[in-house]
């Protein structure tokens, strides 16, 4: 029995959350085309007959400005502590200057666990770019194992799993076989609502939004959910609600459909939108929202 913890780190939009969902074979972390989608370290648990691998999805690395950014950077640092292997996920469709990457400069150099440089989105790249990227990474991390995948197409995920498994030591199952994530259902539900906000709104609105599940109750065959959405400005609230409430209705409907698929029961979702000025800069508020350490 092999088991261990594997952190997935990389720039925002590299496809980390898409990858963890594909590996675990269930949606446990939201993925969108927008940058800075993930805010928390989220464990996704892979099981087969003779192994258990706990993958840790992390926020895309960023330079710290706000308190929320600091929280996200702490989540990355925490995820790298004591892991058995690290996957640095690289968007292989993009040229990229390694010397500007804070993850490479400050974070990965102290990690002793085996490192995998995994080039994702190879469905979008070309041979020249791949060769260049590989050379660049090989010169920085000569010990690292390099692999090419497409998280979206599912290409070479078995190859990645086998490579990761071969570095793990004998161990125990940390989680029951039927558990897929370390986060509760209410967290995932809040994230799905945030995913719809990220999908349908633009510019600062998605990033100024946070979702708080205030109540969840099963009444007969219906799961009743009350969600509070916090934004930073009155103008953001206006955009989120939209003309005649059209936008919030769309977000609620799309979220409800996804949540129903997960909980396999009817869902009644009620949303409220409130303004909390500069919540991303407020330590107190971040704690209340669950962004705390």
Ligand X SMILES: Nc1nc2c(ncn2[C@@H]2O[C@H](COP(=O)(O)OP(=O)(O)OP(=O)(O)O)[C@@H](O)[C@H]2O)c(=O)[nH]1
Report the residue number, 17 or 271, with the smaller CB distance to Mg ion.
17
Residue 35 interacts with, from ligand X, Mg ion, none (CB under 5-8 Å by kind): ligand X
Residue 18 interacts with, from Mg ion, ligand X, none (CB under 5-8 Å by kind): ligand X
Label each residue of 246-285 as H, E or C: HHHHHHHHHHHHHHHHHHCCEEEEEEEEEECCCHHHCHHH
Minimum CB–partner distance for residue 222 and ligand X (Å) = 31
Minimum CB–partner distance for residue 102 and ligand X (Å) = 14
Report the residue number, 3 or 201, with the smaller CB distance to Mg ion.
201
Asked if residues 86 and 111 have their Cβ atoms less than 8 Å apart, the reply is yes
Binding site residues, ligand X, CB under 6 A: 10, 12-18, 31-33, 35-38, 59-60, 120-121, 123-124, 150-152
Burial degree of 261 (CB within 10 A; 0-12, 13-18, 19+):
exposed
Report the residue number, 44 or 60, with the smaller CB distance to ligand X.
60
Report the residue number, 52 or 58, with the smaller CB distance to ligand X.
58
Binding site residues, Mg ion, CB under 5 A: 16-17, 37-38
How many Cα atoms occupy the beta-carbon half-sphere of 135 within 13 Å?
7
Minimum CB–partner distance for residue 11 and ligand X (Å) = 7
Provide the token pair at 263: 């909980």
Minimum CB–partner distance for residue 73 and ligand X (Å) = 12
Report the residue number, 3 or 18, with the smaller CB distance to ligand X.
18
Asked if residues 58 and 41 have their Cβ atoms less than 8 Å apart, the reply is yes
Query: Residues near 50 by Cβ (< 8 Å), separated by ≥ 6?
Result: 1, 2
Minimum CB–partner distance for residue 75 and ligand X (Å) = 11
Give the residue at shortest CB distance from Mg ion: 38
Residue 123 interacts with, from ligand X, Mg ion, none (CB under 5-8 Å by kind): ligand X
Question: Backbone phi, then psi, for 127, in 5-degree steps?
Answer: -60, -40
Report the residue number, 38 or 52, with the smaller CB distance to ligand X.
38
Asked if residues 84 and 5 have their Cβ atoms less than 8 Å apart, the reply is yes
The strand ranges marked E within 170-221 are: 210-219
Q: How far, in Å, CA of 17 to CA of 151, rounded?
A: 9
Label each residue of 4-55 as H, E or C: EEEEEEEECCCCHHHHHHHHHCCCCCCCCCCCCCCCCCEEEEEEECCEEEEE
Residue 72 interacts with, from Mg ion, ligand X, none (CB under 5-8 Å by kind): none
Give the residue at shortest CB distance from ligand X: 60
Report the residue number, 67 or 156, with the smaller CB distance to ligand X.
156
Burial degree of 218 (CB within 10 A; 0-12, 13-18, 19+):
exposed
Residue 14 interacts with, from ligand X, Mg ion, none (CB under 5-8 Å by kind): ligand X
Residue 125 interacts with, from Mg ion, ligand X, none (CB under 5-8 Å by kind): none
Residue 67 interacts with, from ligand X, Mg ion, none (CB under 5-8 Å by kind): none
Provide the token pair at 132: 């260049």
Minimum CB–partner distance for residue 58 and ligand X (Å) = 8
Minimum CB–partner distance for residue 150 and ligand X (Å) = 4
Q: How far, in Å, CA of 95 to CA of 175, rounded?
A: 39
């Amino acid at each position: 029995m092999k088991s261990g913890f594997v952190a997935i780190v990389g720039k925002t939009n590299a496809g980390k959350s898409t990858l963890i969902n594909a590996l675990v074979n269930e949606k446990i972390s939201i993925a969108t085309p927008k940058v800075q989608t993930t805010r928390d370290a989220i464990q996704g648990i892979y099981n087969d007959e003779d192994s258990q691998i706990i993958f840790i999805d992390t926020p895309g690395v960023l330079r710290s400005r706000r308190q929320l950014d600091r929280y996200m950077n702490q989540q990355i640092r925490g995820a790298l502590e004591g892991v058995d292997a690290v996957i640095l996920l690289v968007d292989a469709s993009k040229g990229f200057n390694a010397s500007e990457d804070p993850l490479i400069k400050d974070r990965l150099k102290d990690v002793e666990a085996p490192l995998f440089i995994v080039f994702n989105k190879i469905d979008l790249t070309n041979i020249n770019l791949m060769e260049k990227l590989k050379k660049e990474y090989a010169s920085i991390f000569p010990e690292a194992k390099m692999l090419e995948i497409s998280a979206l197409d599912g290409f070479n995920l078995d190859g990645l799993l086998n490579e990761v498994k071969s570095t793990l030591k004998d161990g125990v199952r940390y989680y029951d076989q039927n558990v897929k994530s370390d986060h509760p259902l209410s967290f995932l539900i809040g994230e799905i609502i945030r995913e719809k906000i990220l999908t349908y709104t633009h510019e600062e609105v998605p990033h100024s939004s946070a979702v708080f599940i205030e109540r969840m109750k099963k009444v007969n065959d219906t799961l009743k959910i009350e969600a509070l959405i916090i934004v930073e400005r009155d103008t953001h609230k206006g955009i989120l609600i939209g003309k005649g409430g059209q936008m919030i209705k769309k977000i609620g409907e799309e979220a409800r459909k996804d949540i129903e698929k997960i909980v396999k029961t009817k869902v009644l979702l009620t949303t409220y939108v409130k303004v909390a000025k500069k919540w991303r800069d407020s330590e107190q508020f971040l704690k209340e929202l669950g962004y705390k350490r």
